[in-house]
């Protein structure tokens, strides 16, 4: 088989998967979605019974029959949307919403008509006055139409909100990536240029470290990497800064107590280390020590990073530092959930950052 054909098929499959992931309707083929629909359908049945105004304890028969009917309609509609999801995801949002709405209304008409037909056969009627199949179908279709419209609107707004959050997160990562470049790039190039005549091996190592850092800035915006890979990037950065600061920069690192395959958003530790150098060590005449240690308790990983700080009169502007911290905290919460937190503690002589996140095994 032609390898180019395989490559094209893989690309088509990937595009299709991405398209379905961005589709505004939930995946009704998943067990979780079916369970939520089951609960929602029963709540609708109870609400409809309460709306009739009949004596509640005398309505158990109707509640049972209505529950069966509503569950039929809901599950059949979910099945139709599940089977057609792949095709609907390829269409524009208005067309897909219109077709999904039509499928649900059609399913409601068919099952409500069939249900009323069975009730007529057994001489059972809803309420005090008999209803024809047509009247009952129209009533069910109107109720279903209102509920379906509200549900589709909710799914669309939720998808747009999620998309907005993702775009905002990408913008925050891009801000972190871009802030690595200006001052650090020029300082690194000057260091490399000065090392080439006298220490070419050291200059070559610095070039390799610099290329690793900038390769990371070009990766996918939402990348999750292992803790080992993120710390490797930090070491590259610290080696370059060590060439510039010399004995003024000391590192005390102990991450042996945390799993190195833990997943962490790319460019999480590196900006924290850069802040420690730029706002702490660099501003001190005698330099100082950046301390990094990690612990794991139950399923939560905690990484402590601290550095000495200069007196307030010598301190640099903290605006960029606050922006970086806010960006990192936002991305942690978005990618790892509410258990991921970033806490900053500032004393007269020390700046400490506590990074906490759940342990998830990295795929890289």
Instruction: Compute the distance between CA of residue 76 and CA of residue 83 in angstroms, rounded to an integer.
Output: 11
Give me the mean pLDDT over the 251-256 stretch: 93
What is the reported pLDDT for 34? 85
What is the reported pLDDT for 203? 87
20, pLDDT greater than 90 = no
What is the reported pLDDT for 18? 39
Q: Of the given ranges (18-22, 153-157, 211-215, 303-307), which has the lowest mean pLDDT?
A: 18-22
Give tens-digit pLDDT for 260-273.
999 998 888 988 99
What CATH number does domain 181-358 carry, 3.50.50.60, 3.40.50.720, 3.30.565.10, 3.40.50.2300? 3.30.565.10
Give tens-digit pLDDT for 318-338.
555 666 777 788 778 777 877
What is the reported pLDDT for 110? 92
Residue appearing with tokens 């900053």: 344
Q: Which sequence spans correspond to the domains of the chain?
A: 3-168, 181-358
182/17: higher pLDDT: 182
Residue appearing with tokens 């991305």: 331
Residue appearing with tokens 């279709």: 141
What is the reported pLDDT for 364? 61
What is the reported pLDDT for 323? 64
SS3 sequence of 82-109: HHHHHHHCCCCHHHHHHHHHHHHHHHHH
Using the CB atoms, write b or e for 230-269: b if 16+ within 10 Å.
bbebbbbbbbbbbbbbeebbebeeebeebbeebbbbbbbb
258, pLDDT greater than 90 = yes
Residue appearing with tokens 């979910």: 78
9, pLDDT greater than 60 = no
What is the reported pLDDT for 226? 92
What is the reported pLDDT for 13? 42
Q: Are 348 and 313 in contact (CB under 8 A)?
A: no
169/238: higher pLDDT: 238
pLDDT band at 305 (very low <50, low <70, confident <90, very high): very high
What is the reported pLDDT for 308? 92
Q: Among residues of the chain, what percentage have pLDDT more than 70?
A: 79
Strand partners, 265: 224
Q: Are 299 and 358 in contact (CB under 8 A)?
A: yes
What is the reported pLDDT for 90? 85
Q: Of the given ranges (20-29, 61-70, 293-302), which has the lowest mean pLDDT?
A: 20-29
Instruction: Compute the distance between CA of residue 114 and CA of residue 65 in angstroms, rounded to an integer.
Output: 13
pTM over 0.75: no
Give me the mean pLDDT over the 338-353 stretch: 89
Sheet holding 350-358, edge to edge: 249-254, 288-297, 300-308, 350-358, 341-346
Give tens-digit pLDDT for 107-160.
999 998 998 888 888 877 666 666 788 888 998 899 999 999 999 998 888 888
Give tens-digit pLDDT for 43-89.
888 888 777 655 555 567 778 888 888 999 999 999 999 998 888 88
Which of 18-27, 207-216, 306-315, 341-350 holds the top average pLDDT? 341-350
């Amino acid at each position: 088989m032609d390898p180019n054909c395989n490559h094209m098929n893989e690309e088509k499959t990937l595009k299709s998967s991405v398209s379905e992931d961005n589709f505004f309707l939930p995946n009704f083929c998943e067990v979780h979605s079916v369970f939520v629909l089951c609960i929602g359908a029963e709540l609708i049945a109870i609400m409809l019974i309460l709306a009739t105004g009949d004596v509640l304890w005398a309505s158990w028969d109707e509640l049972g029959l209505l529950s069966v009917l509503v569950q039929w309609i809901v599950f059949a509609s979910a099945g139709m949307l599940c089977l057609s999801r792949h095709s609907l995801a390829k269409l524009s949002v208005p067309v897909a919403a219109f077709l999904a709405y039509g499928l649900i209304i059609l399913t409601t008409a068919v099952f409500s008509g069939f249900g009323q037909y069975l009730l007529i056969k057994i001489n059972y009627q809803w309420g005090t006055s008999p209803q024809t199949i047509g009247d009952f179908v129209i009533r069910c279709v109107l109720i279903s139409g209102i509920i379906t419209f509200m549900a589709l609107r909710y799914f669309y707004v939720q998808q747009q909100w999620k998309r907005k959050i993702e775009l905002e997160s990408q913008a925050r990562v891009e801000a972190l990536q871009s802030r690595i470049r200006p001052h650090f790039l020029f300082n690194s190039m000057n260091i490399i240029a000065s090392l080439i005549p006298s220490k070419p091996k050291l200059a070559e190592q610095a070039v390799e470290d610099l290329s690793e850092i900038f390769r990371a800035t070009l990766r996918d915006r939402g990348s999750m990497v292992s803790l080992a890979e993120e710390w490797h990037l930090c070491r590259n950065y610290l080696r370059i800064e060590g060439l510039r600061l010399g004995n003024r920069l000391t590192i005390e690192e102990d991450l042996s107590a945390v799993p190195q395959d833990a997943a962490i958003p790319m460019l999480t530790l590196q900006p924290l280390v850069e802040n420690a150098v730029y706002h702490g060590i660099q501003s001190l005449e005698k330099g100082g020590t950046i301390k990094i240690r990690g612990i794991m308790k139950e399923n939560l990983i905690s990484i402590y990073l601290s550095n000495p700080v200069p007196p307030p009169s010598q301190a640099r502007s903290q605006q960029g530092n606050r922006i970086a911290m806010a960006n990192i905290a936002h991305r942690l919460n978005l990618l790892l959930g509410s258990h991921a937190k970033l806490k900053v503690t500032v004393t007269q002589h020390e700046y400490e950052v506590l990074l906490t996140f759940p342990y998830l095994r990295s795929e890289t």
